[in-house]
Protein backbone atom coordinates (compact mmCIF):
# COMPACT_ATOMS: atom_id res chain seq x y z
CA UNK A 1 0.00 0.00 0.00
CA UNK A 2 2.86 2.40 0.79
CA UNK A 3 4.18 2.11 -2.76
CA UNK A 4 0.69 2.87 -4.14
CA UNK A 5 0.37 5.91 -1.88
CA UNK A 6 3.73 7.29 -3.04
CA UNK A 7 2.89 6.71 -6.71
CA UNK A 8 -0.48 8.40 -6.52
CA UNK A 9 0.74 11.35 -4.48
CA UNK A 10 3.34 11.86 -7.20
CA UNK A 11 0.75 11.57 -9.96
CA UNK A 12 -1.52 14.05 -8.20
CA UNK A 13 1.30 16.60 -8.07
CA UNK A 14 1.86 16.16 -11.80
CA UNK A 15 -1.86 16.56 -12.50
CA UNK A 16 -1.97 19.75 -10.43
CA UNK A 17 0.70 21.27 -12.64
CA UNK A 18 -1.42 20.67 -15.75
CA UNK A 19 -4.76 22.16 -14.71
CA UNK A 20 -6.12 25.66 -14.93
CA UNK A 21 -6.29 28.13 -12.09
CA UNK A 22 -9.81 28.53 -10.65
CA UNK A 23 -11.26 31.78 -11.97
CA UNK A 24 -14.16 31.87 -9.57
CA UNK A 25 -11.87 32.74 -6.66
CA UNK A 26 -10.94 35.97 -8.45
CA UNK A 27 -14.60 36.61 -9.19
CA UNK A 28 -15.47 36.21 -5.51
CA UNK A 29 -12.62 38.54 -4.60
CA UNK A 30 -14.13 41.06 -7.03
CA UNK A 31 -17.44 40.86 -5.16
CA UNK A 32 -19.45 38.88 -7.72
CA UNK A 33 -22.40 36.67 -6.78
CA UNK A 34 -22.05 33.17 -8.24
CA UNK A 35 -24.24 30.09 -8.53
CA UNK A 36 -22.30 26.99 -7.50
CA UNK A 37 -23.59 23.45 -8.08
CA UNK A 38 -22.04 20.47 -6.31
CA UNK A 39 -22.71 17.12 -7.99
CA UNK A 40 -21.83 13.64 -6.79
CA UNK A 41 -22.52 10.97 -4.20
CA UNK A 42 -23.49 10.82 -0.53
CA UNK A 43 -20.11 12.38 0.23
CA UNK A 44 -21.59 15.55 -1.25
CA UNK A 45 -25.35 15.16 -0.72
CA UNK A 46 -25.01 14.34 2.99
CA UNK A 47 -21.51 15.66 3.58
CA UNK A 48 -20.93 18.88 5.47
CA UNK A 49 -18.24 20.18 3.13
CA UNK A 50 -20.42 22.11 0.60
CA UNK A 51 -22.05 24.34 3.21
CA UNK A 52 -18.80 24.76 5.11
CA UNK A 53 -17.02 25.70 1.88
CA UNK A 54 -19.71 28.29 1.19
CA UNK A 55 -19.34 29.75 4.69
CA UNK A 56 -15.54 29.87 4.49
CA UNK A 57 -15.53 31.55 1.07
CA UNK A 58 -18.07 34.10 2.32
CA UNK A 59 -15.73 34.80 5.24
CA UNK A 60 -12.72 35.32 2.98
CA UNK A 61 -14.20 37.12 -0.03
CA UNK A 62 -16.61 39.92 -0.81
CA UNK A 63 -18.59 37.83 -3.30
CA UNK A 64 -21.55 35.63 -2.45
CA UNK A 65 -22.32 32.02 -3.40
CA UNK A 66 -25.76 30.62 -4.16
CA UNK A 67 -25.16 26.93 -3.44
CA UNK A 68 -27.20 24.18 -5.11
CA UNK A 69 -26.61 20.58 -4.04
CA UNK A 70 -27.43 18.31 -6.99
CA UNK A 71 -25.82 15.19 -5.53
CA UNK A 72 -27.61 11.90 -4.80
CA UNK A 73 -26.56 9.24 -2.33
CA UNK A 74 -25.68 5.85 -3.76
CA UNK A 75 -25.18 7.05 -7.32
CA UNK A 76 -22.38 6.76 -9.86
CA UNK A 77 -20.99 8.67 -12.82
CA UNK A 78 -23.42 6.75 -15.06
CA UNK A 79 -26.30 8.36 -13.15
CA UNK A 80 -24.37 11.63 -13.31
CA UNK A 81 -24.42 11.56 -17.11
CA UNK A 82 -28.12 10.64 -17.22
CA UNK A 83 -29.19 13.42 -14.84
CA UNK A 84 -26.82 16.25 -15.65
CA UNK A 85 -29.41 18.17 -17.64
CA UNK A 86 -31.95 18.40 -14.81
CA UNK A 87 -29.60 18.61 -11.86
CA UNK A 88 -26.86 20.78 -13.31
CA UNK A 89 -27.40 22.41 -16.69
CA UNK A 90 -30.90 23.71 -15.96
CA UNK A 91 -29.52 25.42 -12.83
CA UNK A 92 -27.10 27.40 -15.06
CA UNK A 93 -24.20 27.38 -12.60
CA UNK A 94 -21.19 29.64 -12.82
CA UNK A 95 -19.13 26.94 -11.10
CA UNK A 96 -19.61 23.16 -10.97
CA UNK A 97 -17.88 20.69 -8.64
CA UNK A 98 -18.13 17.01 -9.69
CA UNK A 99 -17.25 13.81 -7.79
CA UNK A 100 -18.53 10.27 -8.38
CA UNK A 101 -15.48 7.98 -8.43
CA UNK A 102 -15.93 6.77 -4.84
CA UNK A 103 -19.08 4.87 -5.89
CA UNK A 104 -17.91 3.92 -9.37
CA UNK A 105 -15.28 1.77 -7.66
CA UNK A 106 -17.91 -0.25 -5.73
CA UNK A 107 -18.10 -3.80 -7.08
CA UNK A 108 -21.92 -3.90 -7.09
CA UNK A 109 -22.15 -1.23 -9.79
CA UNK A 110 -19.87 -3.12 -12.19
CA UNK A 111 -18.36 0.10 -13.54
CA UNK A 112 -14.79 -0.23 -14.75
CA UNK A 113 -12.17 2.50 -14.78
CA UNK A 114 -12.64 3.18 -18.49
CA UNK A 115 -16.37 3.68 -17.87
CA UNK A 116 -15.56 6.26 -15.22
CA UNK A 117 -13.22 8.07 -17.56
CA UNK A 118 -15.83 8.08 -20.37
CA UNK A 119 -18.63 9.21 -18.07
CA UNK A 120 -16.61 12.10 -16.66
CA UNK A 121 -15.69 13.14 -20.18
CA UNK A 122 -19.35 13.08 -21.18
CA UNK A 123 -20.39 15.20 -18.23
CA UNK A 124 -17.65 17.72 -18.95
CA UNK A 125 -18.48 17.84 -22.66
CA UNK A 126 -22.21 18.34 -22.06
CA UNK A 127 -21.67 21.16 -19.60
CA UNK A 128 -19.10 22.84 -21.84
CA UNK A 129 -21.48 22.67 -24.79
CA UNK A 130 -24.51 23.99 -22.90
CA UNK A 131 -22.71 26.41 -20.57
CA UNK A 132 -19.35 27.36 -22.08
CA UNK A 133 -18.70 29.95 -19.36
CA UNK A 134 -19.24 27.48 -16.51
CA UNK A 135 -16.08 26.69 -14.57
CA UNK A 136 -15.86 22.93 -13.99
CA UNK A 137 -13.88 21.60 -11.03
CA UNK A 138 -13.30 17.86 -10.66
CA UNK A 139 -12.65 16.25 -7.28
CA UNK A 140 -11.16 13.17 -5.72
CA UNK A 141 -12.62 12.56 -2.31
CA UNK A 142 -11.96 10.47 0.79
CA UNK A 143 -10.23 7.16 1.17
CA UNK A 144 -12.05 3.90 2.03
CA UNK A 145 -11.18 1.49 4.83
CA UNK A 146 -12.39 -1.88 6.07
CA UNK A 147 -15.54 -3.17 4.40
CA UNK A 148 -15.81 0.01 2.31
CA UNK A 149 -12.32 -0.59 0.95
CA UNK A 150 -13.07 -4.28 0.26
CA UNK A 151 -16.27 -3.33 -1.57
CA UNK A 152 -14.19 -1.04 -3.76
CA UNK A 153 -11.91 -3.94 -4.70
CA UNK A 154 -8.89 -2.12 -3.23
CA UNK A 155 -8.81 -0.20 -6.52
CA UNK A 156 -10.18 3.20 -5.54
CA UNK A 157 -6.89 4.83 -6.53
CA UNK A 158 -7.43 3.71 -10.15
CA UNK A 159 -10.83 5.40 -10.33
CA UNK A 160 -9.46 8.59 -8.83
CA UNK A 161 -6.67 8.54 -11.39
CA UNK A 162 -9.31 8.48 -14.14
CA UNK A 163 -10.71 11.72 -12.69
CA UNK A 164 -7.24 13.26 -12.70
CA UNK A 165 -6.81 12.20 -16.31
CA UNK A 166 -10.03 13.90 -17.41
CA UNK A 167 -9.12 17.09 -15.54
CA UNK A 168 -5.71 17.18 -17.22
CA UNK A 169 -7.14 16.43 -20.68
CA UNK A 170 -9.58 19.31 -20.43
CA UNK A 171 -7.44 21.83 -18.56
CA UNK A 172 -9.80 21.77 -15.58
CA UNK A 173 -9.11 22.62 -11.97
CA UNK A 174 -8.65 19.47 -9.88
CA UNK A 175 -9.24 19.31 -6.14
CA UNK A 176 -7.29 16.18 -5.21
CA UNK A 177 -8.22 15.29 -1.63
CA UNK A 178 -7.48 11.57 -1.83
CA UNK A 179 -3.68 11.79 -1.33
CA UNK A 180 -4.25 13.91 1.76
CA UNK A 181 -6.51 11.23 3.24
CA UNK A 182 -3.84 8.65 2.39
CA UNK A 183 -1.18 10.69 4.19
CA UNK A 184 -3.43 11.06 7.23
CA UNK A 185 -4.07 7.31 7.29
CA UNK A 186 -0.34 6.59 7.25
CA UNK A 187 0.63 9.33 9.69
CA UNK A 188 -2.22 9.48 12.23
CA UNK A 189 -4.56 6.52 11.88
CA UNK A 190 -6.36 7.31 15.14
CA UNK A 191 -7.42 10.72 13.81
CA UNK A 192 -8.24 9.16 10.43
CA UNK A 193 -10.59 6.69 12.17
CA UNK A 194 -12.18 9.45 14.22
CA UNK A 195 -12.76 11.55 11.12
CA UNK A 196 -14.25 8.63 9.16
CA UNK A 197 -15.65 6.09 11.67
CA UNK A 198 -17.55 4.03 9.08
CA UNK A 199 -14.53 3.85 6.81
CA UNK A 200 -16.13 5.94 4.08
CA UNK A 201 -18.12 9.02 5.13
CA UNK A 202 -16.24 11.89 6.78
CA UNK A 203 -17.84 13.46 9.85
CA UNK A 204 -18.68 17.14 10.19
CA UNK A 205 -15.56 17.47 12.34
CA UNK A 206 -13.52 16.05 9.48
CA UNK A 207 -15.14 18.41 7.00
CA UNK A 208 -14.51 21.43 9.21
CA UNK A 209 -10.97 20.68 10.35
CA UNK A 210 -9.55 18.60 7.50
CA UNK A 211 -11.50 18.78 4.23
CA UNK A 212 -12.22 22.51 4.11
CA UNK A 213 -8.68 23.65 5.00
CA UNK A 214 -7.31 21.24 2.38
CA UNK A 215 -9.86 22.27 -0.24
CA UNK A 216 -9.33 26.00 0.26
CA UNK A 217 -5.56 25.54 0.26
CA UNK A 218 -5.75 23.67 -3.06
CA UNK A 219 -8.01 26.32 -4.59
CA UNK A 220 -5.83 29.18 -3.44
CA UNK A 221 -2.58 27.45 -4.40
CA UNK A 222 -3.84 27.23 -7.98
CA UNK A 223 -4.67 30.91 -8.28
CA UNK A 224 -2.96 32.52 -11.24
CA UNK A 225 -0.24 35.03 -10.27
CA UNK A 226 -1.36 37.14 -13.24
CA UNK A 227 -4.78 37.61 -11.68
CA UNK A 228 -3.69 38.45 -8.17
Range of the domain at 72: 2-221
Query: Could you report the per-residue pLDDT of 104-154, keeping only the tens digit for each?
Result: 999 999 999 999 999 999 999 999 999 999 999 999 999 999 999 998 989
Q: Is residue 227 part of a domain?
A: no
Query: Could you report the per-residue pLDDT of 68-102, keeping only the tens digit for each?
Result: 999 999 999 999 999 999 999 999 999 999 999 99
Q: Could you give phi then psi for residue 146, rounded to 5 degrees?
A: 70, -135
Banded pLDDT at 157 (limits 50, 70, 90): very high
Question: CA 134, CA 173: separation in Å to the nearest integer?
Answer: 12
Domain count, the chain: 1
Query: What's the mean pLDDT when you consider all of the chain?
Result: 90
**Mean pLDDT, range 141-170, rounded to an integer:** 95
Query: Could you report the per-residue pLDDT of 17-40, keeping only the tens digit for each?
Result: 344 557 888 899 999 999 999 999
Q: Is residue 228 part of a domain?
A: no
Kindly tell me the burial class for residue 74, based on how many C-beta atoms sit within 10 Å of its own C-beta (0-12, 13-18, 19 or more): exposed
- pTM of the predicted model, to two decimals? 0.88
Q: What is the CATH number of the domain that holds 19?
A: 3.40.50.1110
**Separation of first and last alpha carbons in the chain:** 39
Q: Is residue 62 part of a domain?
A: yes
Amino acid sequence: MLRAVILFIASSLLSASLVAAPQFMQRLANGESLTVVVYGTSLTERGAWPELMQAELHRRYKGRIHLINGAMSGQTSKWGVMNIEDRVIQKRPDVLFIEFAINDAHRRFEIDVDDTRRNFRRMVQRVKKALPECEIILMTMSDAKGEAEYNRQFRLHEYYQAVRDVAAENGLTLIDLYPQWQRLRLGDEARYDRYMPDGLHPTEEAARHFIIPALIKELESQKSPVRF
